[in-house]
Amino acid sequence: MMTYCSWNEQKCLDLLEQPFFELIQLAYAVHQKNFTAGDMEFCTLANIKTGACPEDCAYCPQSAHYNTGLKKEKLMDLASVVAAASNAKLNGAKRFCMGAAWRKPSQKDLPKVVAMIRAVKDLGLETCVTLGMLEAEDALALKESGLDFYNHNLDSSAEFYSTIIQTHTYEDRLNTLKHVMAAGINVCSGGILGMGETRVDRIKMLLTLYELPITPKSIPINQLIPIPGTPLAKAPLLDPFELIKTIALTRILFPEARIRLSAGRENMTDETQAWCFMAGANSIFIGDKLLTAKNPRLERDRALLKKLNMQFPEEINA
Ligand code: SAM
Ligand code: DTB
Ligand code: SF4
């Protein structure tokens, strides 16, 4: 079995190119050392502001640059957020993640999000928000509210990123992560697979995350949900083994991180998901909806995890 003390592109490629079962065995050994068998983290998403985003991210249904037929909605009110979070808690979520389709939060909206974070924390839930780019003082205000995680994905390699987004840069993404880390908020950052990027792009993204001064505790791996109307609507389907191998590599590089099998599970077979869990994914979103796209229904997730003898939170209100 190969061992590595530091990582670079070639070492990652070598890992991915060894026999599949060797890779999975190595990843599962790392996983077993750091997590209890069958353990799974459950998070629920809420889209607190929908559509009309000025950014042009080629995968995103919420970008104002593409006609995806999405109905735009203003910032949710506090009571509706609390109701959604209470429901998520009843269904067994440990963390409530709030997303807003913004380039960056305005000074008018940020205090409203701060109030939401406080209210969700009062319910006894962990909090995560994803609001676009942050300045240093925004991050401090969010920290002050008690925010646990800030989600801001690198999404791909720097080179590939510039082919799918023109309205902001990779450097902008890294700057936001810098402010999040400086404020003492946990980083949640990962990527999307299946946008037409190469294996090397995926490796470079993971190595950029690896080189951050504070290792992310939470790494979402999304599989592209092709959205009609976006430039990536017809992107070629990702081979499920490429997804599984990327999860395995993520587990090996980040032994202690929660790896979230994030968007795209609705289009995956149970067997693909099971392989992803074996390769090291140990967090999922539960609930019928992600931000705008479908997520597997609770019944399907419950049945899958039961078949695998893995934890599923019993519905308190069943
Ligand atoms: N505006 C904020 C931002 O860009 O950071 C927050 C919301 S944005 C929707 C959060 C993440 O959702 C993106 O970084 C991307 O990884 C993921 N995402 C968006 N559209 C997706 C799609 N069609 N398929 C898979 N993941 C997607
Ligand atoms: C992340 O990496 N994936 C989530 C969360 N962070 C905010 C979002 C997935 C969005 C999928 C497309 C949609 O629902 O609109
Ligand atoms: Fe979508 Fe976020 Fe890009 Fe806006 S910044 S288009 S919400 S991914």
Residue type, 195: M
- Angstrom distance (rounded) from CA 272 to CA 270: 6
Report the C-alpha gap between 264 and 295 in whole angstroms: 7
Atom index in ligand 1 nearest the CA of residue 227 equals: 23
Residue spans per domain, the chain: 40-307
Q: Does any ligand 2 atom lie closer than 6 A to the CB of residue 61?
A: yes
Q: Residue 153 Cα, ligand 3 centroid: separation in angstroms?
A: 11
Ligand nearest 128 Cα, by number? 2
Active-site residue 57, yes or no?
yes
Nearest atom of ligand 3 to the alpha carbon of 168: 5
Is 5 one of the annotated active-site residues of the chain?
Answer: no
Going from the Cα of 4 to the center of ligand 2, the distance in angstroms, rounded, reads 32
For tokens 């191998």, the residue is: 245
pLDDT per 10-residue tile (average), the chain, 318 residues: 70 96 97 93 96 95 95 95 95 94 96 97 97 97 96 97 96 98 98 97 97 96 97 95 98 97 96 98 95 94 92 60
Phi, psi dihedrals of residue 255, rounded to the nearest 5°: -55, -35
According to the model, what pLDDT value does residue 76 have? 96
**12 flagged as catalytic:** no
Catalytic status, residue 53:
yes
CB–CB of 41/282 below 8 Å? yes
Q: Is 128 a catalytic residue?
A: yes
* Protein residue with its CA nearest to atom 2 in ligand 2: 220
- CA pair distance 36, 18, nearest whole angstrom: 26
Spell out the CATH class of 40-307: alpha beta
Residue in 12, 43, 60, 276 annotated catalytic: 60
